[in-house]
Chain A
Amino acid sequence: MMTKFIAKAYLWILLALLYSPILIIMIFSFTEAKVLGNWTGFSTKLYSSLFAGGVQRSLVSALGNTFAIAMIAATVSTILGSIAAIGIFNLRSRPRQIMNFTNAIPMMNADIITGVSLFLLFVSFGISQGFTTVVLAHIAFCTPYVVLSVMPRLKKMNSNVYEAALDLGATPFQALHKVILPEIRPGMISGFILAFTLSIDDFAVTIFTIGNEGLETLSTFIYADARKGGLTPELRPLSTIIFVTVLVLLIVINKRAEKSKSE
């Protein structure tokens, strides 16, 4: 009984510690003060000015870029990674080992090294950096995760079903569409979600590949903002919204997963 109480208390204290910074931001998103920590009375002005545009246009455009990059990078990674997974699955053992090892490099490597290496690639070949280079860089570090989430589905699949479809007169394309695709779809979906969140979250690779022509993502915007000393007050409501959205989403996904397990 006593150990149970101590265990529970420990978890709650740790959670309180983990969440106290974000709680402070949430609380102070409901006041107008420029400097965080000054309470000048309850107000939702920061929320309305966040959506009103105007002064905060650059923040909104940074948010738009972040989503556009994540959407393109996640989509391309999912297609490229799924095709690659089917290919790798059918390789002989030696080339398969080489592919698996190379595929693991971007996941094992530190973000800053990936960033520096891609920076050197682009400058060495005289490619001007901007939206395209950021998207290419994000595809490079997202695709390995797609390959890894599709691969287990292929391993679980009964390969005779594909052969049977061909024997029954399906073209290879039909067999792919009707047999393989439905089997690997859950892996593709979780790969896509993973790629999307990784891309949205990224800072280290983006900052090395974004160039200096004024393109901003949410991460580089916050970084530039923080270095200027003052944190734009509108970032408080924005962080709050992002945080609550992710929280609700994760809890819903988790509840659904638990429900489908018990059924």
Chain B
Amino acid sequence: MRRRNWTIPYALFLAVFVVTPLLLIVYYAFTDAEGAFSLANFRKFMVHPEAVNTFVYSIGIAIITTLACLVLGYPAAYILSNERFNTPKTMVVLFILPMWVNILIRTLATVALFDFLNLPLGEGALIFGMIYNFLPFMIYPIYNTLQKMDRSLIEAAQDLGANPFQVFMKTILPLSMPGVMSGIVMVFMPTVSTFAIAELLTMNNIKLFGTTVQENIYNGMWNYGAALSLIMLILIGVTILFTNEEDSASNEGGGVI
């Protein structure tokens, strides 16, 4: 048997468990309960202010979380990767470790912390919980690109008379852009699509778009739920395309230098 044929079992598996399910989302989104073609699901979303508001609100929360993770995470990744600060490798492990703890346990721990400090659960707890949950996903990719960066480029910039600020803005930051971009995707995507976490952190007071999707699927509204999923899928696709483009553009910039 030729070895390229070894692809066949996995190709069949992918066809059944990855491609078909995604096509089913599209099929359900564009049909009504009887199976006839219909745009009613999308029309329902458009005229349903609560669903639209939840969608916009979720994107807003995701943007705030992503920016906060970037502002907090970049310096941390920079310090961890810079040999001048000589941080032990165990320190890096400590920053990545929370990624391996069950997300619900992490969320409940946040609820416990807010209860313990007598702080009210609500928007503040929601944003803190999101940052707490997803900060490692920002630090890790940035740390990785900074780690692999060619140090001689920094030395060259210094030799050519750049001050530390210029070195950072013109050399280090552009070189770390691929890491920043994958960090943004890795934080934005789970934040915008999350469910369950928001209910726990706000005592059911704030609903995110993921919860709307889940509720509709649970209540048997498969067609509407599929349409909402498709809208989220498009949002995710656009995010990935956008960040990939930035990524390749910055690579080209690096090539020109």
Contact = CB atoms under 8 A, between A and B. Distances in A.
A113 B229 contact: yes
Contacts of A239: 101-102, 105, 109
A2 interface: no
21 contacts: A18-B98, A21-B109, A80-B13, A81-B10, A83-B10, A84-B10, A87-B7, A112-B210, A113-B236, A114-B21, A116-B217, A117-B229, A120-B21, A121-B21, A147-B10, A222-B104, A222-B108, A227-B199, A250-B93, A250-B96, A254-B90
A250 B97 CA distance: 8
Interface in B115-174: 115-116, 132, 135-136
Nearest to B7: A87
Contacts of A8: 79, 85, 87
Contacts of B222: 120, 123
Given A8-B85, A87-B6, A121-B17, A21 B95 contact: no
Interface of chain A: mostly helix, strand, loop or mixed? helix
Given A21-B132, A24-B116, A110 B193 contact: yes
A254 B225 CA distance: 43
A222 B102 contact: yes
Contacts of A219: 102, 104
A20 interface: yes
A257 to B, nearest CB: 9
Interface string B78-111: 0110001101011101111110111111101110
B75 interface: yes
A247 B93 CA distance: 9
A192 interface: no
Contact of B93 (A109, A113, A251): A251
A168 interface: no
Interface of chain B: mostly helix, strand, loop or mixed? helix
Interface string A132-163: 00001101100100010000000000000000
Range of interface residues on A (Cβ < 8 Å): 35 or more
Interface string A1-45: 000100110110011011111101100100000001100000000
B251 interface: no
A55 interface: no
A18 B217 CA distance: 34
A136 B189 CA distance: 24
B206 interface: no
Nearest to A80: B10
B105 A37 contact: no
B80 A11 contact: yes
B75 A10 contact: yes
